Amino acid sequence: MEFLERVFFGNTLKQWIWALIVTLSVMTLLRILRTVVANRVAAFARRTEMRLDDRIAELLRGTRFFFILIVALYAGSLLLELPPRTRGLIHGAMVLAVMLQVGFWLSSLVGGVVTHYVGREIGEGGDAVGASTALTFVGRLLLWIALILWALDNIGFEVTTLITGLGVGGIAIALAAQNILGDLFASFSILFDKPFVIGDTIKVDDMTGNVERIGLKTTRIRSLSGEQLVFSNADLLKSRIRNFKLMQERRVLFSLGVVYGTPYAQLAAIPGMVREIIESQPRVRFERAHFTSFGESALNFEVVYWMTDPDYMAFADIQQKINLAIFKKFEDEGIEFAYPTRTVVIAGGTGEQPKG
């Protein structure tokens, strides 16, 4: 048919019709595939406990119409004779569409993976939300930078110079913000390595308190005297931290002293008395009691036992009972506790100064 051979914009009408048919066919096929595959994956996901297949089904359903349209137009354009400039524009549009669609897919996947990982490692709460938001932002930022560079390279831009510039700029920014970045990465280390968590009682240097908040830059601790202590995360990780909440047992060491006039028999019986008193207490494991030294004004004993319950209030209650029981036992046995004394002996007893 001569009518179909008429030329419009460098192509015959027959070529334009075939291009339209291919475009519509590809568009229809892609939309059907999106629906069918997404439904199949969703049906499979309902039979499993994994979250990954649920996420894939959501991603497939979220395929943008502009992506399907541009892919269909690109497929149809392959049947046409087009000027180099027009062909380059279509190729650029195709690369841009692929970049955006892949970016949307991977961006959603990054958010889901980070949220799942943070929830598994940290749990729920404000700190988990903060960590998830920060990690998702960093992951998505790196993802989009990589996709934009890929797109520019495929369109024909020289990206080597751009990458070099980004590297130099990144180093400059990192140097300028090294303290902030150090605190940021330290917060990730605290949240995932968990040297302590919210609610733990920790001691940093000579300061002790309960952890109230782990932020992206600082950690806040409520001290035992009531004030709030604010630590830089980077400085906190450089410190030696004692976490009392992770204590499984509490080792207790205390001393007591008796006067020098205590008879030998009573002195030898004191370790047994103390052992009997300690072993009568609940949640306690006795270790030792020894006559350890001759002090300036006392005969000193050292006692060690273990609290199987690390709670401080439980320890304080048990120690009080032990102290009262020791006091009562010594009172019954006539054993005197020592207190600081000093005896001055005058030579000769006549008041004369000793000769030197």
- Cα–Cα distances (Å) from 71 to 14, 83, 181, 260, in that order, read 21, 19, 41, 99
Confidence of residue 116 (pLDDT cuts 50, 70, 90): low
How many domains does the structure of the chain reveal? 3
Q: Are residues 163 and 42 in the same domain?
A: yes
Q: Are residues 221 and 288 in the same domain?
A: no
Confidence of residue 81 (pLDDT cuts 50, 70, 90): confident
How does strand 7-8 pair with strand 11-12? antiparallel
Q: Are residues 256 and 236 in the same domain?
A: no
Q: Which two tokens stand for residue 16?
A: 């334009």
Closest residue by Cα to residue 255 from 337, 340, 341: 337
User: Is residue 346 in a domain?
Assistant: no
User: Is residue 356 in a domain?
Assistant: no
Across the range 197-206, mean pLDDT stands at 85
Q: Are residues 228 and 260 in the same domain?
A: no
Given a contact cutoff of 8 angstroms between Cβ atoms, the answer to whether 200 and 211 are in contact is yes
User: Is residue 349 in a domain?
Assistant: no
Q: CA 146, 149, 150 angle in degrees (round to 5)?
A: 85
Q: What is the pLDDT of residue 123?
A: 58
Query: Rounded distance, CA 265 to CA 187, Å?
Result: 60
Write down which residue in 209, 228, 245 finishes a domain: 245
Write down which residue in 176, 203, 225 finishes a domain: 176
Q: Are residues 255 and 137 in the same domain?
A: no
User: Is residue 142 in a domain?
Assistant: yes
**Mean pLDDT over all residues of the chain?**
80
Query: Rounded distance, CA 298 to CA 270, Å?
Result: 14
The single residue listed with the structure tokens 């001055």 is 344
User: Is residue 353 in a domain?
Assistant: no
Structure-model confidence comparison of residues 110 and 332, the more confident one: 332
Given a contact cutoff of 8 angstroms between Cβ atoms, the answer to whether 295 and 259 are in contact is no
Q: What percent of the chain has pLDDT over 90?
A: 23
Q: What is the pLDDT of residue 119?
A: 64
Indicate if the pLDDT at residue 356 is higher than 60: no
Question: CATH code at 221?
Answer: 2.30.30.60
Given a contact cutoff of 8 angstroms between Cβ atoms, the answer to whether 30 and 71 are in contact is yes
DSSP 279: H
Across the range 12-27, mean pLDDT stands at 84
The single residue listed with the structure tokens 């009172």 is 331
DSSP 349: G
Q: Are residues 70 and 41 in the same domain?
A: yes
Across the range 193-210, mean pLDDT stands at 84
Across the range 87-91, mean pLDDT stands at 83
Write down which residue in 225, 245, 265 finishes a domain: 245
Closest residue by Cα to residue 278 from 255, 304, 297, 296: 304
- Cα–Cα distances (Å) from 22 to 67, 73, 295, in that order, read 16, 8, 102
Q: Are residues 29 and 169 in the same domain?
A: yes
Q: What confidence tens digit (pLDDT) does each residue in 245-267 have?
A: 888 889 999 999 999 999 999 99
User: Is residue 324 in a domain?
Assistant: yes
Buried/exposed code over 252-273 (b: 16+ C-beta within 10 A; e: otherwise): beeebbbeeebeeeeeeebbeb
Q: What confidence tens digit (pLDDT) does each residue in 297-336 have?
A: 899 999 999 999 888 889 999 999 999 999 999 999 999 9
Q: Are residues 67 and 110 in the same domain?
A: yes
User: Is residue 27 in a domain?
Assistant: yes
Question: CATH code at 312?
Answer: 3.30.70.100
Confidence of residue 277 (pLDDT cuts 50, 70, 90): very high
User: Is residue 348 in a domain?
Assistant: no
The domain containing residue 103 runs over which residues? 3-176
Q: Residues 6 or more apart from 114 whose CB is under 8 A from it?
A: 132, 135, 136, 139
Q: Are residues 207 and 85 in the same domain?
A: no
Q: Are residues 50 and 115 in the same domain?
A: yes
Q: Are residues 240 and 257 in the same domain?
A: no
Q: What is the pLDDT of residue 3?
A: 63
Given a contact cutoff of 8 angstroms between Cβ atoms, the answer to whether 259 and 337 are in contact is yes
Q: What is the pLDDT of residue 355?
A: 46
Q: What is the pLDDT of residue 129?
A: 60
- Cα–Cα distances (Å) from 182 to 112, 176, 216, in that order, read 26, 11, 10
Across the range 159-163, mean pLDDT stands at 65
How does strand 207-214 pair with strand 218-223? antiparallel
Confidence of residue 196 (pLDDT cuts 50, 70, 90): confident
Q: Are residues 225 and 143 in the same domain?
A: no
**pTM value?**
0.49
Structure-model confidence comparison of residues 51 and 195, the more confident one: 195
Closest residue by Cα to residue 304 from 248, 254, 256: 254
The single residue listed with the structure tokens 């897919």 is 105
